[in-house]
Amino acid sequence: MKDVASVQSGRRVVGLRHDLDTVYGLKWGLPKIISIEKKYGVKSTLFVRVDVVRSKKDKRILKALADEGWEIGLHLINTVNDSRLMPPESELKLLKKLLGVPIYGVTPCGSTIGFKGDVTWRIMCSLGLKYMEGYGMPDFKVDTFVFPTHLSLDIHYVRNFGEKEGYQKFKEDSSQQLSQNGIATVLVHPEGFVRSVQSHGLLKIPLTLLRKGMMNKVYERFLCEFKDKVEFKRYIDIYQRLTLKGS
């Protein structure tokens, strides 16, 4: 099995990840993320559910970002190959057809079905992509490169601990992971840039109005504080660096 633990990467690297789970996130949250990343001169990997690409405008937005250097990956919906849903390989083919860009990696979407251990690992591996990321590691040998489990800055740290305490805990955990492995991957969802990530349902409305639990300043603080300590990279860049050094 190819994984980060088996390869020494040299300088510390952080992979930036955003999951496009909703049309709302694509249309309203993603532009705010891109604006912040352009400010700091970094690019990230956007893992896209194929069903959020619904219009010609959606296609143009994502294709333009890919042309500018952002990476597009597959955010897999059918994580157990349920016969009632589009087959996993068809999701991949459709995303490629819709956007006309290369797809190098896959992650499991947490909604609809979610990550189901080795069943999901086997399905993702069967897609024949260069890399995948899930939760933990497969319990069987795979040929696909496996990234370490991401740190979810928004729906774990900020949602559960608040902006200040959550960010501090995130810094501690990411620093520890970087010290141990030389690499960490960080996930932030676009929805958190337009509505609070704290609480659920209607309770989000007052928090959003008060700008509590919003990711805009938190994400920018993260990029600002880490920019001189690490290299921010797309997943495909990290994959290429690690596999080259491991060859």
Kindly give the confidence (pLDDT) of every residue in the chain, 247 residues in length, as a single tens digit, with 9 standing for 90 and above: 444 544 444 579 999 999 999 999 999 999 999 999 999 999 999 999 999 999 999 999 999 999 999 999 999 999 999 999 999 999 999 999 999 999 999 999 998 999 999 999 999 999 999 999 999 999 999 999 999 999 999 999 999 999 999 999 999 999 999 999 999 999 999 999 999 888 777 777 887 787 888 999 999 999 999 999 999 999 999 999 988 865 5
pLDDT at 1: 41
Q: Could you tell me how many residues make up the chain?
A: 247
Does residue 20 form part of some domain? Answer: yes
Q: What's the predicted TM-score (pTM) here?
A: 0.93
Asked if the structure places residue 227 within a domain, the reply is yes
Domain annotation covers residue 1: no
| Residue 222 forms part of a structural domain | yes
The structural domain count of the chain equals 1
What is the domain extent for residue 108?
9-246
Q: What backbone phi and psi angles, to 5 degrees, belong to 52? A: -90, -10
Distance (Å) of CA 203 to CA 4, 25, 46, 88: 40, 19, 28, 35
How many CA atoms within 13 Å lie on the side-chain side of 237?
18
Q: What is the pLDDT of residue 114?
A: 96
Residue 138: its pLDDT value, please? 95
Helix 118-126 and helix 88-99, axial crossing angle in degrees, nearest 10? 50
Within-domain flag for 64: yes
CATH number at residue 104: 3.20.20.370
3 within some domain: no
Q: In angstroms, rounded to a whole number, what is the distance separating the alpha carbons of residues 96 and 119?
A: 24
Within-domain flag for 190: yes
In a domain, 4, yes or no: no
- For residue 112, with 0-12 CB atoms within 10 Å meaning exposed, 13-18 middle and 19 or more buried, which class applies? middle
